[in-house]
Amino acid sequence: MLNLDRLRTLSAIARHGSVSAAADGLHVTTSAVSQQIAKLERETGQQLLAKNGRGVRLTDAGRLLADHAVRILSQVELAQAELEAHRGQAVGDLRMGAFPTAARGLFPAALVALRSAHPQLRARLSEQEPDASVREVVRGDIDLAVVLDWYNRPLSLPDGLAKAPLLDDPADVAMPSDHPLAQRRSVELEEFADDEWISWPQGEFCNEWLMFTLRSKGVEPRISHMAEEHHTQLALIAAGLGVAVAPRLGRGPVPEGVSVVPVRHTMRRHVYAIWRADADRRPSIRAAVQALQVAGRQVEGDGG
């Protein structure tokens, strides 16, 4: 009889392309992955992996079994979801991912609410960027993720995912307090054509959005500094080193020396939860979405 953990390991190698990457995705050692595959090869009587330079590749038998593993694991997840729904209680493990400002601005309240209402549910959060969260939900490495769209730049989602809106998050422009526009009631992005910008790291969804948005307004951005955390961006702004787009979710107190001014034509991030559609009936998923929506309404009521 095929072992589910070993099938999950083979599926991870097929998805990630290497033993080491599969080990990272499964949060185990490369030795543990190799041992699982060796046992699976003994169980099936087939060679599933072959050497390919310094790495490995799936054999024909390995690809065949990996394809079946995807369907088997999806069916197991569906069965677990229906059993959990039949029981009617949010129990067990729930693995969640969220981009940094959502992790800071939504999850403390949501996790406290889940712990209080569902003491048998073990909800766990990992902070990660939207693109990584989408991949992990699709692979089944996490159960639910909080991701974002920009108002003019949707995040591409693959088929097979369900989603629910949590909140709309306005974004302002943060600038040094002695900036010529710092005392204005509102600004337009075009007015910062001559400024140096502080952005998210290259390759991230929000960095791509900033470049796209500024260029669509005829501004060729001069990116002087890149920082993952908004608090780091604000510290650089306080030192007079540039301006940045500053979403309100999870922003916290603005440091001395920084002024934050709304954009006249409001920029918004659409924040929402995603999960695999075959897990839609899980009470734990529904409980988490509800807790996050309550937290989102609280944030909107507080003005971010």
Share of the chain above pLDDT 70, in %: 96
Q: Between 70 and 60, where is the model more confident?
A: 60
What's the confidence (pLDDT) of residue 81? Answer: 67
Span 78-97, mean pLDDT? 76
Question: In whole numbers, what is the pLDDT of the chain averaged over residues?
Answer: 90
C-alpha atoms less than 13 angstroms from C-alpha of 50 in its C-beta half-sphere: 9
Q: At CA 290, angle to CA 288 and CA 294, rounded to 5?
A: 115
Provide the pLDDT confidence category of residue 304 given band limits of 50, 70 and 90.
low
What confidence tier does 125 reach under pLDDT thresholds 50, 70, 90?
very high
Q: What is the pLDDT of residue 280?
A: 82
Which pLDDT belongs to residue 69?
87
The whole model's pTM is what? 0.74
